[in-house]
Amino acid sequence: MTFSVSKALAPADREWAESLLPKLAAKFAAERDRVGSHIPYIAEDGVYKDLKDVSDPAWWTNGFWPGILWQMFKATGDEAYVKPAREVEQTLMDVIDTDFMGLHHDVGFMWLLSAVADYRLTGDEKAKNRGLAAATLLAGRFNPEARFIRAWNLPDSEGWAIIDSMLNIQILFWASEVTGDPRFADIARMHADTLSHTAVRPDGSCNHIVDLDTTTGELRHTPGGQGYESGSSWTRGQSWAIYGYALAAHHSGKQGYLDVAKKVAHYFVANVALTDDKSLVDFRAPAEPVYWDALADVITACGLLEIAEQVPELERPLYLKWAVRLLRAVESNWCDWDPSRDGLVQMCTGCYANSHDREVPMMYADYYFVEAVLRLQDKAARLW
């Protein structure tokens, strides 16, 4: 029997989650009608001005808008979400011709939530082929000697791998599932194994970037990345690890991956409990100034719900309760429900050191909030 998250929730939490469904429908139907097949990113004063299909079609978050559209289609049955989602899907495929070198390890984010979502929900064979093209591109970045997938295309970064990639490798598990070819999943597992002992620390905190010897895979250095500095604890990096390893456990059946996800989750909630269930940008940054990141909260909530589906019944309440706590904190403190304004989740931060994307509404936080709330009601599409 399939585990029902909704039935496992406390009545008050179930009622709260149910109350959000019509608000999500109103918010994203209005955004869909305004944005259409453009690709939004950061809302400025309630308006999506920088449309990535115009400014940067290869941008790594460009799959999240069609992901929202597909999730809302699954939850509501409203066919009006399908056309713009497929038009974005076509835009992303065009990038392979127009800006191939702009693509890197983040193709999983881009195509899992667009073409693969289309195939999973509609069975469209063209969408399946597009997803397999992206999976093949990601597999081509694998270093077989050192057993990792290279991050980005920066000069002198041949040994770099990043914790974000744990979400991207889910497209490799999917590719093995639909083709029967084990090589994609083998790459995903080898990469996950490498990051589990180089990026994930014994206490459950994570490095964002690891610089590995390209022949041996030995850890050489841990560049600071998007957190405060090397050795700090970028909270969104922790959230990528939580959800990514939980998903890897789901696809591979490896208990070790679930154990990693749980270890990082315990570290995350122990820290966020100190700040009223709201996530800082970095758990190890100086006390001042204080910078927040709702992104880490909503991604972690999805990861906690994924863990809850895989652990024994007596363990589930911890993960379910914390998922709801994080989502309630985001909803009560940092959500703009006005359908006339673009952007739902506020106070998202891309990088500790940057001011231009600090504490702003980011569209991909909206995706994870939507996914998590729909999972609470057993209405979410499984897109990872």
Q: What is the pLDDT of residues 150-167, one digit of tens each?
A: 999 999 999 999 999 999
- Cβ distance 177 to 220 under 8 Å? no
Q: What is the pTM of this model?
A: 0.98
Handedness of CA 206, 208, 212, 216 (dihedral sign): positive
Taken as a whole, the chain contains a residue count of 384
Give 118's pLDDT tier (boundaries 50, 70, 90): very high
Asked whether the beta carbons of 249 and 291 are under 8 A apart, the reply is: no
**Averaged pLDDT score across all residues of the chain:** 98
Helix spans in 77-124 (H) = 82-98, 107-111, 117-122
pLDDT interval class at 229 (50, 70, 90): very high
Annotated binding site: 106, 164, 236, 240
Strands 219-221 and 209-212: antiparallel
Q: For residues 237 and 300, give the distance between their C-alpha atoms in angstroms, rounded to a whole number.
A: 10
Q: What angle do the packed helices 316-334 and 255-272 form, to 10 degrees?
A: 50
Residues catalogued as catalytic: 106, 164
pLDDT reported for residue 122: 98
Residue tagged 């079609």 (tokens)? 57
pLDDT score of 242 more than 60: yes
- Alpha carbon distance 112, 118 (integer Å): 9
Domains of the chain: 5-376 (1.50.10.10)
How do residues 257-306 score in pLDDT, each as one tens digit? Answer: 999 999 999 999 999 999 999 999 999 999 999 999 999 999 999 999 99
Q: What is the per-residue pLDDT across 171-224, written as a single tens digit (0 to 9) for each? A: 999 999 999 999 999 999 999 999 999 999 999 999 999 999 999 999 999 999
What's the pLDDT at 1? 57
Average pLDDT over residues 246-256: 98
Give the pLDDT score at 2: 82
pLDDT, position 365:
98
> Annotated binding site for substrate, which residues?
106, 164, 236, 240
